[in-house]
Chains A and B, each alone.
Chain A
Amino acid sequence: MAKKHLVSKTSEIPKGEHKIVRIGRVEIGLFNINDKFYAIPNVCPHQYGPICNNGAIKQGTLVGKRENNFKLEWDYKGEIVSCPWHQLQYHIPTGRCLSFPDMNLKTYTVTVEKDLIYIG
C-alpha cells in the first residue's frame, strides 16, 4: 500500500475486538491484541472466505512445540482468527496459516498516531 490511510480511531476497537475497514475496494480486518493493532486482508486464500467478518473467532490454539518436548499447550491466546467458512486458523500478528505455511496471509503495516490508526 503506497500511502498511509487513516482507517479508524483507537477508541472504536477495544482490546480483544476487531473491525473491518475498507481502503478503496480492499477489505481489511483490523485487530486490537493487547492494545497493539494488526491488519490482515479479509480474504482467506483457501476459497476466498471473509476471514475477518464480524463473528470471526479470536482465540488461542492447541500446539505441541518441539522446544517444549511436544507437551501440549494452549498458545497464541487471542492471536488466532478462524475463517468462518472452513475454520482455517491464522496467526494475526504474522499472517501465518497454522496448517499450511504456503497459504500465509499478507500483513499490513499499522501505525498509531495519537488516537488515530493508519494502514500503509
Chain B
Amino acid sequence: MSDQAKIPKSPLEDVFVVDNDVHIEETPGLMAKYFEPPFDDAVRSYEKSYRYRDTSGFMPGMKLGDIFRNSPASKHAKRPDLTNGENTERELKKYHVDVGLLFGENALKIPILQSVEYANAFASAYNDYLIDRFLDQSDALMGAIAVAPHDPHAAAEEIDRVANEKQMKAIFLPIGGLDRTYGHSTYRPIWEVASEYSLPIVFHSVGVDFPEFPFNMHKLPYLTRHTLAHELSLIVNCMHIVNEGIPVLYPKLKFVFLEAGLSWMSMTAYRLDREYMQHREQAPLLEKRPSEYIDEFYVGTHPIEVPENPAELAVLLEQVNGENTAVFATDIPHHDWDDAGAIQSIPVSKEVKEKIWGLNAKKLYNI
C-alpha cells in the first residue's frame, strides 16, 4: 500500500492550501558546490569529518546522517527525503498542500556562526541551493531569502542578488542565537532593500542553547527550553521592532512570525500597550497603540495550542486579528508538526478557515 493510500480523505482536497513552514534538508555534501572558495572545499571536508568540528564546522550542533534521517517525523516512521524540489512537492501533495514556503534546517542557526565571512557564505550558498535544487524544479515551492544578521549591509546585498528570482517570495530572518534583536538600527539596510522589493520579512526561531537571550537556557528541561526558545525569541523581536518604530519607518513592510503558535502574540500586544501607555517617550515614532501594529503582523498557526475547550482557539484568533493574518503551517518534517486538521477543529466559519489555510498567504506573498 502506498503512503498516499493510507491517508484518509481530507477536508483540504478542494481548498487552496499554503504551508508556510516546510523544512528542506541541507547537508555539507549537497551544499558544498554552492559555496565559493575557500568554503567549498572546507564544507566538503565537513561531510566526512563532522563530529569533532562542532564549533568551526558546517553548522554547530546539528546532527547529520542516519541518526538525523531516522528520527520519526510527520506521517512517516522515517524522515522523508526533502533534498530536492521533486521530492518536496510530492511530499506536500500528501498533505493536500498546494504551495509550500521552504526553510532550511541548518540555516535556522546562521546567527550562532562565529565567522561573519562563513555566515555570509552560508546564506548565499543556501539561497543558490534552494533556487537550483528546489525552486527550479517545482512551481509549487516558494523560497525565503536567507541572510546572515551579522553584517546587515552584506545581508542587504544578498537580498538584492537573488530578490528577482521569481519564486523567492520573502526574506527569512533567522533568530536562533541572535545577538542584537531586529529592532536595532544596524538592521536598517535590510528593511530598506526589503521595502524596495516588497518582500515580506519572515522571522523563524529554533530551539538552540546559546549564550544569548533567550537561548541561554541550558539548565532547563527540553520541554521548557523548546517552548521558550520559540515564544520568547518571537516576543522580544516583535516588541523590539515595534518599539523602534520599524513599521512606521518602513510602512510597506509586512512581517510574519513563525513557530510559536498564536497565544504569544496577543500577550505581546496587551503587555506592550500597557508599557507604552506609561513610557511612550521610549517609542516616540509610534502613531498608534503598539497592538495596532501587531494586528497587521502575520502569524503562523504552528504549533497550534491545544486548549481543553477548542473555542479558546477562536478567541486567540480574534485577539490577533487572525482572520486576516493567521497563516497555516505544518513544519514538516519536524517532530512537532501540525496537520491541517488542527485548523479544521477551530469553531470558526469555513470562510475564515479557508483564509487561514491559504487565502491570507496568497495575498501576503502575491501568489
Contact = CB atoms under 8 A, between A and B. Distances in A.
Contacts of B281: 61-62, 89
Interface string B262-290: 00000000000000111111001101110
Contacts of A99: 276-278, 280, 289
30 contacts: A46-B277, A61-B280, A61-B281, A62-B281, A62-B284, A63-B284, A64-B245, A64-B284, A64-B285, A66-B248, A66-B287, A70-B245, A70-B285, A72-B284, A86-B277, A87-B278, A87-B279, A88-B277, A88-B278, A89-B280, A89-B281, A98-B280, A99-B276, A99-B277, A99-B278, A99-B280, A99-B289, A100-B277, A100-B289, A101-B288
Given A64-B285, A100-B289, A70 B277 contact: no
A62 B282 CA distance: 8
Contacts of A101: 288
B42 interface: no
Counting contact residues on chain A (CB < 8 A from B), the size range is 10 to 19
Given A61-B281, A87-B279, 10 more contacts: A46-B277, A62-B284, A64-B284, A64-B285, A70-B245, A70-B285, A72-B284, A86-B278, A87-B278, A101-B288
Contacts of B311: none
B249 interface: yes
A52 B224 CA distance: 47
Which of the four size classes fits the interface of chain B? 10 to 19
A21 B237 CA distance: 47
A62 B281 CA distance: 5
Contacts, number: 33
Nearest to B287: A66
Interface of B: 245, 248-249, 276-281, 284-285, 287-289
B294 to A, nearest CB: 15
A28 B81 CA distance: 73
Contacts of A62: 281, 284
A98 B279 CA distance: 10
Contacts of A46: 277
Nearest to B288: A101
A70 B249 contact: yes
A44 to B, nearest CB: 11
Nearest to A103: B277
Nearest to A89: B280
Contacts of A70: 245, 248-249, 285
Nearest to B280: A99
A70 B245 CA distance: 10
Contacts of B288: 101
Nearest to A102: B289
A89 B284 CA distance: 13
Interface string A39-65: 000000010000000000000011110
